[in-house]
Amino acid sequence: MPESPLLLAFVLFLVLAAEFVNGWTDAPNAIATVISTKVLSPLQAVVMASILNILGVILTGTAVAATIGKGIVQPESIGLPVIAAAMLSIVIWSSIAAYYGLPTSESHALVAGLAGASVAYAGREALLWAGWQKVIIGLGVSTFLGFAIALVLMTSLYWALRRARPAVNRKVFGRLQILSSAFMAFSHGGNDGQKFIGVFALALVLGGVLPEFQVPLWVILVCGIIMGVGTAFGGWRIIRTMGFRLTKLEPVHGFAAETAAASAIQLASHFGIPVSTTHTINTAIMGVGATRRFSAVRWGVGRNMVTAWILTFPICAVLAAGFALLFRWLF
């Protein structure tokens, strides 16, 4: 039975707020390295990332959106309060982490929030194992594949460029890094942007607007633009952590990290696997840094980032569960 139009409007607002935060805190995924290597100015990088994020959302299909919208929880077992609770947990946790300059995964915050809210609202039977299998696979892709591809690619580039002059390398890869950064921004939109499109469409189903799960073009456009606006604000503290504190980067390193991360994300998007773009690019940066020497990576900074990643699951799940119980009582 359709729920209150006011409740639906409130939930859709929260979904767009979470999409905005996704663009705001995940903008560094695409532009931190290109800013730290001084290939682009912060303004140029943010404008480019905003546009490519929107295009990534619009042009890469809806496989990931379908996984999130109908593969994580059973739509018939939950209500709009579950969506509201999950979105609030994302906005709160991601904003706190961004204040301290810690890159978090909105992907993991989303699935943790949906899980916590759904279990509190309808019990464990509300969860769907098929979708969670893809989430687990995505965790492996984002954590290990980005690192591995970056390590192999950077090692290959070192060998191929062993006789090239440093000035030539910087000039050539300064230009190439613009392309790799654009590729990363496009890939981010095609995976991370789709997740909240899926939630938006799910809310429309629960609110009685759509008869079954589907993703209308207007939903793609609205969510893409909101994420692009969020990206335009930039997460400058996170940019400092990723681009300057984790390891020292030259254009060739930024090119390798972005190309490796974007390739891994594109592969996952093709199969509808939601991955953490934050994890993927950060582990790719670690992989690039490790090719010089193990100590080239500031592992203490990396440890703080990993701690934030680990905390995302329980914190968002507990927050969402609490909000779900509160909203169930209120509505």
Between CA 237 and CA 272 the distance in angstroms is 31
Contacts of 242 (CB under 8 A, 6+ apart): 28, 29, 32, 33, 36, 103, 281, 282, 285
Locate the domains of the chain by residue range. 5-328
Residue spans of beta strands (DSSP E) within the chain: none
Q: Sign of the C-alpha dihedral, residues 271, 277, 279, 284?
A: positive
Between CA 245 and CA 300 the distance in angstroms is 10
Per-residue model confidence as pLDDT tens for the chain (331 residues): 456 888 999 999 999 999 998 888 776 666 777 777 778 887 788 788 888 888 888 887 788 888 888 888 888 888 899 999 999 999 999 888 877 767 677 888 899 999 999 999 988 888 988 788 888 888 777 778 888 999 999 999 988 888 888 787 888 888 898 899 899 889 888 888 888 999 999 999 999 999 988 889 899 989 888 888 887 776 555 565 554 455 567 788 888 988 999 999 988 888 888 888 877 887 888 788 777 665 555 656 666 667 777 788 899 999 999 999 998 888 7
Identity of the amino acid at 62 = T
Between CA 181 and CA 274 the distance in angstroms is 20
Question: Taking the model in full, what pTM does it have?
Answer: 0.82
Which residue, among 232, 248, 240, has the nearest Cα to 295 in the 3D structure? 248
Between CA 35 and CA 29 the distance in angstroms is 11
Identity of the amino acid at 264 = A
Q: How far is CA 239 from CA 21, 174, 226, 321, in A?
A: 15, 18, 20, 31
DSSP string, 21-84: HHHHHHHHHHHHHHHHTTSS-HHHHHHHHHHHHHHHHHHS-SHHHHHHHHHSB-GGG--HHHHH
Contacts of 171 (CB under 8 A, 6+ apart): none
